[in-house]
Amino acid sequence: MSVNEESIQSTSHRRTWRDVDLRAVAPFAALALLLIVGAIVNPNFIGLNNLANVATRCAFIAIIAVGATFVISAGDLDLSVGSMVAFVASLMILFMNSGVIADPTLMLTAAVLFAVAAGAACGLANGLITTVGRIEPFIATLGTMGIYRGLTTWLSQGGAITLREPEIQELYRPAYFGSILGIPIPIAIILAVTAVAAFILYRTRYGRHVVAVGSNSDVARYSGIAVNRVRTIAFVIQGLCVAIAVLLYVPRLGSTSATTGILWELQAITAVVVGGTALKGGAGRVWGTICGAFILELVGNIMLLSNFISEYLIGAMQGAIIIIAMLVQRSLVRKS
């Protein structure tokens, strides 16, 4: 076997550009390209202020998309996230308006915990319907998408739900508008959520199980992995991420309505796909997802700053991006 051993030696020391997975690099290359295009379109674009603004505004989608990365990596899909934002945010504001706790700080703390619990519960419902109920995730979450949206409309009686306590408002405002060490809080939270998510997906037993279930659930089952539990937990993680996005959303406007979070599922799934996660499961890229969310917001920003495309076309543009991203992903399937 001397021939074999020689080739073992020679290849293990040679790492060429061909070993780089293009799908992992593509979103970052696209981001660099967009920054160049943006700078050409409008010199103000590349300024730190504008970019920080863009990053802050993509926070909701970025955080939701981190959760979607788990669900999609496990081979499922959650269409209900946009409605879930509206529902959880409405519940949270109603809770704060109820005045059951007099002290504003305590009230806010309780409301935060309440929102996190509500998000987790919504995610758990999605998870149990898909796994225990054995309903395709597409249909299950299409159903809950209608349910969460409908409940929001009912709670708001078709109008808006607004945070009334001025004291709580004042206390809560910095959560979106403040900054720590010069970094706007939403950006800090994106980075924190992503770091934790990356750790879970790449460095824990659960993360390995998610990828195994997503790439082949039979192999996972024969390896003694509790497939349904892994999938359900992914939905719960999605719900928690939605709750974190809500915690940033409520202080921004202090109000929700039946149209809150419309089409956010499209943006979240687009961010995941642009980031290089395979839609059929089995390969999750958390940092790519964040990059994808940023790209989406940048495209909107460039359209706003430029004069040749109407900003009313942003939705159409985002729809086009997900299709283009799928085409690019397919053409980049690693050839080795």
Partner 1 sequence: MNPETLETASVVLEARRISKSFSGVQVLFSVNFELRAGEIHALMGENGAGKSTLVKILSGFEQPSSGEILLDGKPVTLPPNGAAEALGIVIIHQEFNLAEHLTVAESLFLGREVTRFGVLDRKYMRAETRRVLDLLGCRVDANALISSLSIAEKQMVEIAKAISRDARVVFMDEPTAVLSREETNFLFRQVRKLRDQGTSFVFVSHKLDEVIELTDRVTVLRDGQWVKTAPTAILDGESIAQLMVGREMSSLYPAKTEPDVDEEIVLRVDSLSTDYVKDASFEVRKGEIVGFSGMIGSGRTELMEAVAGLRSRLSGEVTIRGEAVPSGDVHAANRRGLAYMTKDRKAKGLLLNSGMTANLTLQSLDQHTRLGYLDPTSEAAALEKARRRFDIRVRDGDVVARRMSGGNQQKLLLAKVMETEPEIIIIDEPTRGIDVGTKQQIYHFISALARDGRSIIVVSSEMPEVIGLCTRVAVMREGRIVGMLEGDEISEQEIMRYAAGLKRMVAA
Candidates 4-12, 80-88, 113-121, 175-183: pick the segment binding partner 1 (CB under 8 A): 4-12
Candidates 115-123, 139-147, 216-224, 294-302: pick the segment binding partner 1 (CB under 8 A): 216-224
233 contacts partner 1 (rule: CB under 8 A): no
- Which of 107, 278 has the CB closer to partner 1? 278
Judged by CB under 8 A, the chain residues 294 through 333 that form the site for partner 1 are none
Backbone angles phi, psi at 15, to 5 degrees: -110, 105
Separation between Cα atoms, residue 239 and residue 68, nearest integer Å? 9
- Which of 57, 221 has the CB closer to partner 1? 221
- Which of 216, 255 has the CB closer to partner 1? 216
Count of H-run helices and E-run strands, the chain = 16, 4
Q: Residue 271 is encoded by which pair of tokens? A: 């961010």
223 contacts partner 1 (rule: CB under 8 A): yes
User: Which of 102, 158, 224, 308 is close enough to bind partner 1 by CB under 8 A?
Assistant: 224
336 contacts partner 1 (rule: CB under 8 A): yes
259 contacts partner 1 (rule: CB under 8 A): no
Candidates 105-113, 168-176, 220-228, 311-319: pick the segment binding partner 1 (CB under 8 A): 220-228
Query: What are the CA-CA distances from residue 148 to residues 86, 139, 237, 262 (Å)?
Result: 8, 14, 18, 12
Judged by DSSP in three states, 246 sits in helix
229 contacts partner 1 (rule: CB under 8 A): no
- Which of 19, 311 has the CB closer to partner 1? 19
What are the residues facing 180 on neighbouring strands?
A: 183
- Which of 316, 333 has the CB closer to partner 1? 333
Separation between Cα atoms, residue 69 and residue 284, nearest integer Å? 6
Position 30, amino acid: A
- Which of 7, 310 has the CB closer to partner 1? 7
136 contacts partner 1 (rule: CB under 8 A): no
Closest listed residue to residue 191, CA positions, set 276, 23, 66, 296: 66
Beta strands in 116-261 (DSSP E): 160-162, 179-180, 183-184, 255-257
- Following DSSP, what letter does each residue of 294-323 receive, concatenated? HHHHHHHHHHHHSSSS-GGGHHHHHHHHHH
* Alpha carbon distance, N-terminus to C-terminus of the chain: 24
280 contacts partner 1 (rule: CB under 8 A): no
Place of tokens 């659960």: 206
Q: Residue 246 is encoded by which pair of tokens? A: 């809500």
Judged by DSSP in three states, 238 sits in helix
Judged by CB under 8 A, the chain residues 16 through 35 that form the site for partner 1 are 16, 18-19
- Following DSSP, what letter does each residue of 10-36 receive, concatenated? HHHT---GGGS-HHHHHHHHHHHHHHH
User: Which of 30, 189, 225, 321 is close enough to bind partner 1 by CB under 8 A?
Assistant: 225
Position 289, amino acid: T
Contact 160, 112 (CB under 8 A): no
Count of chain residues binding partner 1 (CB under 8 A): 33
Least separation in angstroms between residue 75's CB and partner 1 is 12
User: Which of 50, 162, 215, 306 is close enough to bind partner 1 by CB under 8 A?
Assistant: 215
- Which of 104, 282 has the CB closer to partner 1? 282
Candidates 28-36, 100-108, 213-221, 306-314: pick the segment binding partner 1 (CB under 8 A): 213-221
Candidates 203-211, 265-273, 295-303, 305-313: pick the segment binding partner 1 (CB under 8 A): 203-211
In the complex, the residues that contact partner 1 under the rule CB under 8 A are 1, 3-4, 7-8, 11-12, 14, 16, 18-19, 199, 203-205, 208-209, 211-212, 215-216, 218-226, 282-283, 336
